[in-house]
Amino acid sequence: MAGTTFLSLPNELICMIANFCQDTQDAYLLCFVNQRILPSAQRALYRTIIFWPAHYNQVVILIRTLVENPHLRGLVRGLVIFQGADIYYDVRKMKTPTNLAFWHNSKLDESRLSGNERHILLLCRQYMGLNPLSMPLIVGLMLGLLLCFVNRIEFLEITQVEFGPRTHDWQLAGFKSILALATSSLPTEAAKPRVCPELKRLSLVPS
């Protein structure tokens, strides 16, 4: 196979390599190789999303991506969330305080959203705008909003990393609030979406 390059391999083999790619960084780099393998690389990249504690900027980026590119939502089949404090939510030490505190004012391309999706996003923005300094509440709202946009996930795992009960209560309040808004405050009763309708496995892990 002297002189053989990656792109000279059969398309089926290239797609197989991308599909079995376990490292998200490798999958991300494959997305830029060639349009021919982009769909397979994107499936590998978005298949399982993991959010580690103190890295809530990932949530901000992913929500923007899914809002502006709805065709990518169906690629997310698993979601693993480690809920924990970002340096105990001290805005002087947080890695992403501005992104979270002022996210409700951020500009997104909402042209591809349905009317109901736009309504959910608007309600979330309004709720966050009323509580701009409550970082745990905002994180909970963002995670709840994310679940509204990944309607094909098959497994969801939430691990509660140990931290103060007050922080946990606020984060949980935000999480529950946006899901309640998403299912009860839409323009028409018949238009209510089902949150995670394809969910097959739910794992809740205490700290």
Residue partners of 199: CB distance under 8 A and separation at least 6: 153, 154, 155, 156
> What is the share, in percent, of the chain residues with pLDDT greater than 70?
78
Taking alpha carbons only, the member of 3, 50, 26 closest to residue 158 is 50
Residues 32, 108 within the same domain: no
pLDDT value of position 71: 92
Residues 127 and 54 in one domain: yes
The pLDDT value recorded for residue 127 is 86
> What pLDDT does 181 receive?
74
Give the Cα separation of 199 and 154 in Å (integer): 4
Q: Considering the chain, what percentage of its residues have pLDDT values greater than 90?
A: 15
Q: How many domains does the chain have?
A: 2
pLDDT of residue 2: 57
Same domain, 57 and 89: yes
Residue 87: the pLDDT is 41
Question: Are 170 and 85 in contact, with CB atoms under 8 Å apart?
Answer: no
Count the Cβ atoms, other than its own, within 10 Å of residue 116. 16
Q: Which tokens belong to 159?
A: 């691990």
Q: Quick one: residue 179, left, alpha or beta (phi over 0 = left, psi -120 to 50 = alpha)?
A: alpha
* 140 in the same domain as 40: no
Expressed as residue numbers, the domain containing 181 is 47-205
User: Are residues 52 and 30 both part of a single domain?
Assistant: no
CA distance 158 to 155: 10
Instruction: Clarify whether residues 38 and 51 are in a common domain.
Output: no
Average pLDDT value for the chain:
78
Residues 81 and 130 in one domain: yes
Is the pLDDT assigned to residue 207 strictly greater than 70? Answer: no
Q: State whether 27 and 86 are in the same domain.
A: no
Q: Give the CA angle between residues 49, 54, 60 to the nearest 5°.
A: 55
Give me the pLDDT at residue 186, please.
58
